[in-house]
Structure 1
Amino acid sequence: MEIKRIFELLPHQQAHTPKSDILAYKVKGQWVKYSTDELIRKANSVSLGLLKIGIKRNDKVAIISPNRPEWNFVDFGIQQIGAVSVPMYPTITEEEYAYIFRDSGVKVVFVADEKLYAKASKVAAQIPEIQVIYTFDRIEGANFWTDLTDLAKDDDPALLEQHKAAIQPEDLLTLIYTSGTTGNPKGVMITHNNLVANIEGSMPAVPVTSTSIALSFLPLCHVYERMVHYLYMYVGVSVYYAESMDTIADNLKEIKPNIFVTVPRLLEKVYDKIVIKGYELTGIKRALFFWALELGLQYEVGTDKGWWYNFQLKLANKIIFNKWREALGGNVVAIVSGGAALQPRLARVFWAAQVKVIEGYGLTETSPVIAVNRVEPENARVGTVGTIINNVQVSFATDGEILVKGPSIMKGYYNKPELTAEAIDAEGWFHTGDIGELVEGRFLKITDRKKEMFKTSGGKYVAPQPIENSLKESVIIEQVMVVGEGQKFPAALVVPSVQGLKDWCEVKHIPFNSLAEVLKNEQVVSKFNKEVQKCNEHLAQYEQIKKIVVLPDAWGVDSGEMTPTLKLKRKFISNKYKKEIESIYENV
């Protein structure tokens, strides 16, 4: 690669692929576009403003905001003077803000809106090291972000060159605090070189060019979306920010992107909505829909299933799956999925519909990508996370834990040398905490999280994630957590899909006045048990789910059951539903 430090992406793009819409964001219903030149000017003005208020090399600056262009202006502005960004999820608690502010030693905070300003101000009032908070929206009584840039509006951007020149590839670029499924979050130290190396290693797998358009909605404060963002900038891809999670469907149709990055939870929701629409059809239309769906579920990437299957699939694509592609804007070349395990059926059916979902794998500590599937069928396998990227090495511990080595491995955990030594051994191998294996000698398959596996009282280890994914294939099941640590058998907490259950009840002529009421219906109880039995058919005896508790309330980020990256907070859920779990194992 031609760049060594991330901020060099800006002049690189200006020289090779200058764009009029490198970033775009909707304001009052209209897309506001920013050119490469504007992005550079605004980043420079932030750098000069930060210098004016005394921010120096290695000082920490927090960014708390959903995705929007100002996030990038500030990110690059911080980098160019050798300061360190501390991006934070808007959704985390005040206690977590306070912990991260103190642990990292933040001096300046940028927030998006009035709600976040109120939250951050309350916390910052107790931390004298925080000098000032700037906002991206104009808020009465608050410092607007251009108040900072106005301080240095007459300064020459050439003043920045000496600051840039002093920054080395191994210097700290950002502190990314893990979302913390247990205990306090850890500050992962990521350098310029870590991210540059990961861009270089990941680029062959991401099918984009300088004419591509990307839709962005996963949080930029997470290293996954952020690294891909930098990759887009290197290539010259135009990035359009979705207005919110609720408007993704409309934004897809509007901007017709070629690519977007997502997590399995969102793909599951898209798929479930499609299936629910199928149930609403009648007669021949309904029959055709489910015929096409069944064909899609049989699809195998890279396998020729014969002329008759191919002929049927071609027909299904013409009359059914074409509508799926239109719903995604009609131009999607690939959807990149990461952050958690993708249900194999989703990959199969989307590939069958000519929408290539390429699943990858990585961690914050690995900047993040370790392996990824490709869009070429010969370089993709459903149920795996693809091939190892070029500049990363993978090995396996005796218990199957995946070990990783390479230039994208973090510098360590901030202020936590003991935890760093636990994670990175003396030979430089990072211990991922995931159990895996190689399929066909080159495709990495994750079998479970080491910390999530539990042992039954019979001494058998159970990997919950594959069982949960299997159960979620049911149209009436939305969320699942398998339990059973130290017990005679595994069981599960199940959250129903309200819409899926409504549609099933309608077909069965079962009144649906309320979820709480319908969950007591004998036919509904029997249906849930049948779905569990269907899953159990593919499990070893000791893995089979013997009992379930169906819960009426969905799990979410705000209510505490899920991390901002939509992973289950198993400890939180176990504590919240302690009585329900205990009731499962009474009298057994």
Structure 2
Amino acid sequence: MVMNIADEKFERDLIDNRARSVAHLFIDRVAKSGQDEAYRFPQGGAWKSMTWAQTDTHARQIAAGLVALGVDAEDRVAIASSTRLEWVLADLGNMLAGAATTTVYPTSQLADVVHILTDSGSRVVFAEDTDQVEKLRSGREQIPDVVKVVVFDGEGDGEWVMTLDELRELGRTRLEETPDVIDDRVAGIKPQHLATLIYTSGTTGKAKGVRLSHDCWTYEASAVDSTGLLNAGDVQYLWLPLSHVFGKMLLCLPIQVGFPTVVDGRVDKIIDNLPETQPTWMGAAPRIFEKVYGKINTMMEADGGAKLKLYRWAVEVGTKVANERADGREPSGRLAIEYKLADKIILSKIRARFGGHVRYFISG
């Protein structure tokens, strides 16, 4: 739908009274929705859930572990991993410790990783697996500022590399000794403090770090929330690379609004996962939606006959409705009747098979 910005309705108070930082935003969400589902993730061939309160426990332990390692306010802590629950927890741990997340694509070559880590001055690196650890180990002499590597899937070496569980245990000990250590860190975070460094190649030369403050993220989250498009009853499907600015925004948004997020970065599993997880919306690049549409077409063509004819008719009706809405009009008359019929007999069945009650697909 094309809309004049002056006519757009939004809740200004949500923006004006936004949280001071991502850490404050998260603490507020835990207080409001502690026992509600926060994240859903694949584990052992099944889907597991984590509440906001459970997420808070994990994130605080990680944050306290980072403090124990000597990470100070606005120190950079890198994450080199694909999209998965541990990425989310590590980032939240960084936020609660008052640190800033440096994002590293797991596919980056050693030279690029070394540049990002040295340019950012990162002190700790969260690494997804042994492949990422070995990459870091091969460049260790070039990244002297990195005091510790924390691996999600793999073993520690008792010296430079430790596991995520070992970091959490370190954090538990620190919290027993100093229960207020994380609350004190959060109290010191200001809106203009650095929250994220995202590296982009830019136009020439080496990748350049884009400095993004806490206020950047809380503004984006509150601005989307102010439109009323999403609510606590929604379910997000998140697969986008969290090293990308759009992916990070999609991490902050559910903390602002309070809906659960399905986290699984395996691109080849998206189409299979949608009917299993029943999301109501998903942000993605256009190519993903093209793949979903292509699989639906293949499925319907295989069925053939009357079902295929009905499907093509429903798609034609849906296209007309989309064009009407793009021009700022809702369908009326015969088209409105046809759309209700098409939705009832065809489109609703497709949604049930390929994504439950999906209402929104957002293209980044």
TM-score over 0.5 for the pair = yes
3-state DSSP class of the match of 1:109?
Answer: strand
For 2:202 and 2:300, the matched residues in 1 are separated by 38
1:147 and 2:166 matched? yes
- Cα distance between partner residues in 2 of 1:18 and 1:239: 15
- The CA deviation string for residues 340-374 of structure 1, in whole angstroms up to 9 with x for no partner, is xxxxxxxxxxxxxxxxxxxxxxxxxxxxxxxxxxx
The 3-state SS of whatever aligns with 1:157 is coil
1:321: which partner in 2?
Answer: 347
TM-superposition CA deviations, 1:74-101 (whole Å, max 9, x none): 2122223332210122122222212211
Distance 2:94 2:269 in 1: 30
TM-superposed deviation, 1:256: 0.9
One-letter amino acid of the counterpart of residue 107, structure 1: R
1:571-582 equivalences in 2 (<5 Å):
none
* Residue equivalent to 1:307: 333
Deviation of 1:48 (Å): 1.7
How many angstroms apart in 1 are the aligned matches of 2:230 and 2:183? 31
Distance of aligned partners of 1:159 and 1:322 in 2 relative to their CA distance in 1, 3 Å threshold:
closer
Report Cα offsets for 1:484-516 as digits up to 9, x if no partner. Answer: xxxxxxxxxxxxxxxxxxxxxxxxxxxxxxxxx
Structure 1 CA distance for aligned equivalents of residues 260 and 266 of structure 2: 18
Greater RCO structure (CA 8 Å; 6+ sep): 2
| 1:332 shift after superposition | 1.6
For 1:230, the equivalent position in structure 2 comes to: 252
Report if aligned partners of 1:9, 1:234 keep a CA contact under 8 Å in 2: yes
What amino acid is aligned across from residue 158 of structure 1 in structure 2? Answer: D
Residue 97 of structure 2 aligns to a residue in which SS?
A: coil
Number of the residue aligned with 2:11? none
Using the TM superposition, give the Cα deviation of residue 250 of structure 1 relative to its aligned residue in structure 2, in angstroms. Answer: 2.2
> In the TM superposition, what whole-angstrom CA distance separates every residue of 1:396-441 from its partner, at most 9, and x where no partner exists?
xxxxxxxxxxxxxxxxxxxxxxxxxxxxxxxxxxxxxxxxxxxxxx
Q: CA deviation at 1:287?
A: 2.8
| Distance of 2:74 and 2:265 partners within structure 1 | 33
Q: How many angstroms does 1:167 deviate by? A: 1.9
Residue 21 of structure 1 is matched in structure 2 by 37
| C-alpha distance in 1 between matches for 2:184 and 2:331 | 61
- Where structure 1 has 5 or more consecutive residues not aligned to the other structure, the ranges are 339-588
Residues 159 and 21 of structure 1, relative CA distance in 2, 3 Å threshold: same
Aligned residues: 338
Partner AA of 1:151 in structure 2: L
Matched residue SS, 1:154: helix
Greater Rg, structure 1 or structure 2? 1
Aligned-residue offset at 1:232: 0.7
Which residue type is aligned with residue 194 of structure 1?
A: C
| 1:99 and 2:115 correspond | yes
Contact 1:49 1:149 in 2 (8 A): yes
Is 1:136–2:152 an aligned residue pair?
yes
* Pairing partner for 1:90 from 103, 106, 120: 106
- What SS does structure 2 have at the residue aligned with 1:151? helix
Shift of 1:170: 0.7
Q: Is the 1:261–1:335 Cα contact (8 Å) retained in structure 2? A: yes
Give the secondary structure class of the aligned counterpart of 1:298. helix
- What does 1:425-436 correspond to in 2, within 5 Å? none
Distance 1:269 1:104 in 2: 37
Letter in 2 for 1:7: A
The partner residue of 2:357 within 308, 331, 334 is 331
CA shift for structure 1 position 110? 0.4
**AA of the residue aligned to 1:53:** L
Q: How far is 1:104 from its partner?
A: 0.9
Alignment of 1:376-525 (within 5 A): none
Residue 172 of structure 2: SS of its match in structure 1? coil
Cα gap change, 1:183 to 1:265, in 2 (>3 Å): farther
Tell whether the 8 Å contact from 2:238 to 2:250 is kept in structure 1 after alignment.
no
Matched residue, 2:289: 267
Question: Match of 2:60?
Answer: 44
Aligned residues of 1:64 and 1:87 also touching (Cα < 8 A): yes
Distance 2:139 2:128 in 1: 16
Distance 2:76 2:261 in 1: 27
1:282–1:175 CA distance, 2 compared to 1 (3 A) = same
Give the residue type in structure 2 aligned to 1:209: N
**1:54 matched to which residue of 2?**
70
Cα gap change, 1:325 to 1:181, in 2 (>3 Å): farther
Question: Is 2:240–2:284's contact at 8 Å kept on the other side of the alignment?
Answer: yes
Instruction: Determine which of 180, 190, 197 is the counterpart of 2:219.
Output: 197
1:485 alignment partner in structure 2: none
* RMSD of aligned Cα (Å): 2.2
Structure having the larger proportion of residues in helix: 2
Matching residue of 2:46: 30
Alpha-carbon distance in structure 1 between the residues aligned to 2:111 and 2:242: 21
Which residue of structure 1 aligns with residue 135 of structure 2? 119
| TM-score, normalised by the number of residues in structure 1 | 0.54
> How far apart are the structure 1 equivalents of 2:200 and 2:110?
16
How far residue 122 of structure 1 moved from its aligned partner, in angstroms, is 2.2
Task: Give the SS at the match of 2:123.
Answer: strand
Which among 36, 47, 69 is matched to residue 85 of structure 2? 69
Helix, strand or coil: the match of 2:296? helix
Distance in 2 (CA, whole Å) between partners of 1:314 and 1:166 is: 54
The letter of the residue matching 1:150 is E
Q: Deviations over 1:466-494 (max 9, x none)?
A: xxxxxxxxxxxxxxxxxxxxxxxxxxxxx
Partner in structure 2 of residue 78 of structure 1: 94
What TM-score does the superposition give when structure 2 sets the normalisation length?
Answer: 0.85
Would the alpha carbon gap of residues 261 and 139 (structure 1) be closer, same or farther in structure 2, given more than 3 Å must change? same
1:256 and 1:22 map into 2 onto residues whose CA distance is 15
